Amino acid sequence: MQSIITMDYGSGGVRTAQLIDEILLPAFGNATLNDLGDGAVLPDLGGQPVFSTDSFVVTPWKFPGGDIGKLAVCGTVNDLCMAGGKPLYLSLSLILEEGLPMDDLRTVVDSIARTAREAGVQIVTGDTKVVERGSADGLYINTAGIGVLRAPGLGRRALRPGDAVLVSGSVGCHGAAVLMARGDLPVEGDLRSDCRPLHELSAAALAAGEVHILRDPTRGGVATTLNEFVEGSGLCIDLEEEAIPVDEPVAAACDLLGLDPLYAACEGRMLAVVAPGDAEAVLGALRALPGGEGACRIGTVGTGRPGKVVLHTALGGSRILGKLTGAQLPRIC
Amino acid sequence: MPCEDSWLKAFRNPAGAARLVQDIRRRTQDRAPVRIMEICGTHTMAIAKAGLRSLLAPGVELISGPGCPVCVTPAGDIDAALELSARPGVTLATYGDLLRVPGSLRGDTLLRRRAEGADVRTVYSAADAVDLARTNPDREVVFLGVGFETTAPGTAACVLDAAGDGLDNFSVFCLLKRTEPALRALLNAPDCGVDALLCPGHVAAITGADAFAFLPREYGLPAVVGGFEAGDVLYAVWRMVCMVCDGTPALENEYVRLVTAGGNAAARAAVDRVFQPADSLWRGLGEIPDSGLVLRPAYARYDAAARYGLARGAGTEPPGCRCGQVIRGLLHPEECPLFGRLCRPEDPVGPCMVSGEGACAAAWKYRSADV
């Protein structure tokens, strides 16, 4: 193996085979993948399939609490979980930039393998392409995933007035951690991404009570995701500003940059809207699991301001919490 | 991160907030509304975020003044920056706020120019722009120096840094503005009906609180230098209401954890070494004597306007845009016919809707649930 990725590794020839045999198969190897067919032939799922895909272009590829590999598994696994599925199989497509250090690729591949094991999914098919230097930012990853439906009927249409809005932990950690890793924050500190697979937390929530919708608030953050729950409907969400958990380092970092943690991405948090009588049971189940210790109730579904998310502020005011517009940008003074 | 964040909470949601609100209401119930203008975009955002405007109405009317540096930059200067971004070999380094501000032509922004191939980089400080010049010796790096007294020292420091290193691929398109001349122009206008001024804590950290003593002394207006948490603003408003109702105008400094009477002399010395005051054009306010900063002759080689022969001027205001009146506090954002209809953050007509510190952006982003 060479010390960097060259165009040869994407040729489909000897070098490509070497990449597969020496780096990918040792990390992911399983009966289905080892066949190296053009596609994976999967066993009967025993239920309705759930299917999702996601692409990953995060920069820098490594950040406190994760990397692009971990993110690539969590992203698709979590989408399947939020759709009410139990994730089973992933495809993995790597787009590598010429010149990428082979050690960086090994690190990412190890991270993918570790996270997939943790989330209980197998990587059963994949693809590798190499593009000229300057055509990509190190590496891009696409994963697609298949799971089996465990909880049918989740979605906006299931929401009812009075439902409790829960979050599985503090918000905005991933967005703030990536900003810090970019060197965009003039501080160093204990900011770690919340990136993690949500298979256990989502399963626990579904087992503990009547869940109406599950979503992971990724791009656009909690504010944007909650807006998507109610926009165009006759329902609103009343949020209590004081109840929304924001870690101090995240709050401070966002303050410095003029960002709002409610719009910062999470990659391992879950929003759950549940029947009012089941809120405590679901919270109890979440809090018993790693990554769910900080679960809490942040609001209630109502009808007062149809289609809107209303934030009730600490000082007694209230305001509309809109969707994210454009990208969050820093202020200048 | 520093652990003092927990005490920040005390400023965010102080225990006495309800009592302050009650007292403000009691003092203002039998009189015309007390009109308080804030002249810092960060205050504008803080007030909107905490929902203070609706909380204190109708006894107190909080008005946004010319506190957003991006908003007061005339369209002509944005046009010049856009034109500069199109020059071959030029890398434009800018604070994020300017990326979405349209010039004379709707939709023509640095963000758009970047998508079309211009080399426009977002930086968080002027020092980052100098680093860009160092690491890209084959590029001509131009920093868009926007802001008031708060960002002027950082801009001055980076010019001194570049000069010390003899960097010749770095320059500044200097759009810096000075607070006091603009405030005087605003207050001297016959249509200005302001009762008190919430003075900008960040600016005062540099200038010193005393720089605002002219407000009570010459204009008979109460003035409080305030911090940026909801509790800071609430307390400052309460003090101004007291002074207005009692007829005892004075300058007070609420932001004592950061602002001293004398300010930061070293920062001012750096600014003074690099820049000198000059007449400057403001959106909404027009040309104001000595209200801008330009590079002194000794540092003229770092002046992008001269180096690239940039045409400066008022430019063309977008049709129907009332940003000029919003900046002067004559119009609340919601009173503009375009607000929320033709003009929204995702497709702004004027700068006040797009800058992170613009009055319209604040009013839209944090629109009250009661409206």
Report the complex ipTM: 0.70
| Predicted pLDDT at A2 | 87
B229 and B207, same structural domain?
A: yes
Measured between beta carbons, which residues in chain A are less than 8 angstroms from residue B42?
258, 331, 333
Query: Where is average pLDDT lowest: A280-294, B262-276, B352-366?
Result: B352-366
Please give, rounded to a whole number of angstroms, the shortest distance from the CA of B348 to a CA of chain A: 11
B172 and B77, same structural domain?
A: yes
What the block records as the tokens of A171 is 């918000």
B287 and B331, same structural domain?
A: no
| Predicted pLDDT at A34 | 85
Q: Does A256 touch chain B (CB under 8 A)?
A: no
Q: Does A248 touch chain B (CB under 8 A)?
A: yes
| Predicted pLDDT at A281 | 98
Measured between beta carbons, which residues in chain B are less than 8 angstroms from residue A316?
17-18, 21, 51, 55
B87 and B169, same structural domain?
A: yes
pLDDT tens readout for residues A161-184: 999 999 999 999 998 888 888 876
Q: Does A207 have pLDDT greater than 60? A: yes
Residue B316 forms part of a structural domain: no
Measured between beta carbons, which residues in chain A are less than 8 angstroms from residue B365?
322, 325
Residue B220 forms part of a structural domain: yes
DSSP assignment of A122-182: EEEEEEEEEE-TTSSSSEEEEEEEEEEESSTT-SGGG--TTPEEEESS-SSHHHHHHHHHT
User: CA B355 → CA B22, B260, B360, B363, distances in Å?
Assistant: 33, 29, 9, 12
Q: Please state the rounded mean pLDDT for residues A103-120.
A: 97
| Predicted pLDDT at A44 | 95
Counted domains in chain B: 3
B187 and B282, same structural domain?
A: no
The domains found in chain A, sorted by start residue, are: 7-149 (3.30.1330.10), 156-320 (3.90.650.10)
Q: Does A330 touch chain B (CB under 8 A)?
A: yes
Query: Where is average pLDDT lowest: A112-116, A321-325, B127-131?
Result: A321-325
Of B5, B42, B51, the CB nearest to A319: B51
Residue B313 forms part of a structural domain: no
Closest C-alpha among B149, B161, B146, B142 to residue B307: B142
Q: What is the CATH number of the domain that holds B77?
A: 3.40.50.11740
| Predicted pLDDT at B347 | 85
Residue B317 forms part of a structural domain: no
B96 and B206, same structural domain?
A: no
Q: How deeply is A261 buried, as exposed, middle or buried, from its count of CB atoms within 10 A (0-12, 13-18, 19+)?
A: buried
Residues above pLDDT 70, as percent of chain A:
96
Closest C-alpha among B68, B151, B40 to residue B350: B68
Q: Please state the rounded mean pLDDT for residues B332-346.
A: 92
Q: Please state the rounded mean pLDDT for residues B66-89.
A: 94
Cα nearest neighbour of A311 on chain B: B369
B184 and B170, same structural domain?
A: no
Identify how many contiguous H helices and E strands chain A contains and give both numbers: 10, 13
| Predicted pLDDT at B1 | 34
B55 and B201, same structural domain?
A: yes
Please give, rounded to a whole number of angstroms, the shortest distance from the CA of B54 to a CA of chain A: 7
Please give, rounded to a whole number of angstroms, the shortest distance from the CA of A314 to a CA of chain B: 6
Residue B184 pLDDT class (50, 70, 90 cuts): very high
Residue B314 forms part of a structural domain: no
Cα nearest neighbour of B19 on chain A: A315
Closest C-alpha among A89, A278, A255 to residue A176: A255
| Predicted pLDDT at A329 | 54
Residue B318 forms part of a structural domain: no
Closest C-alpha among B169, B102, B156 to residue B125: B156
pLDDT tens readout for residues B198-237: 999 999 999 999 999 999 999 999 999 999 988 899 999 9
pLDDT, chain B, mean: 92
Q: Does A311 have pLDDT greater than 90? A: yes
Q: What is the CATH number of the domain that holds B214?
A: 3.40.50.11750
A36 or B281, which is more confident = B281
Please give, rounded to a whole number of angstroms, the shortest distance from the CA of B240 to a CA of chain A: 19
B65 and B158, same structural domain?
A: no
Q: Does A22 have pLDDT greater than 70? A: yes
Q: Does A305 touch chain B (CB under 8 A)?
A: yes
Identify the three-state secondary structure at position B146: strand
Of B55, B124, B356, the CB nearest to A317: B55
What the block records as the tokens of A303 is 């009808």
pLDDT tens readout for residues B37-53: 999 999 998 898 888 88
pLDDT tens readout for residues A118-134: 999 999 999 999 999 99
Q: Does B15 touch chain A (CB under 8 A)?
A: no
| Predicted pLDDT at B2 | 38
Q: Give every strand in the sheet of A271-274, ordered side by side.
A: A211-215, A271-274, A164-167, A296-302, A236-240, A309-312, A318-320
Q: Does B69 touch chain A (CB under 8 A)?
A: yes
Residue B297 φ/ψ, nearest 5 degrees: -55, -35
**Residue B242 lies in domain:** 5-69+180-253
B162 and B301, same structural domain?
A: yes
B242 and B269, same structural domain?
A: no
Q: Does B311 have pLDDT greater than 90? A: no
Total-model pTM: 0.82
B102 or B199, which is more confident = B199
Residue B266's contacts (CB-CB under 8 Å, 6 or more residues apart) are none
Residue B54 forms part of a structural domain: yes
B85 and B138, same structural domain?
A: yes
Of B48, B50, B69, the CB nearest to A315: B50
Residues 188..247 of B with a Cβ closer than 8 Å to A: which?
Answer: 202, 230, 234
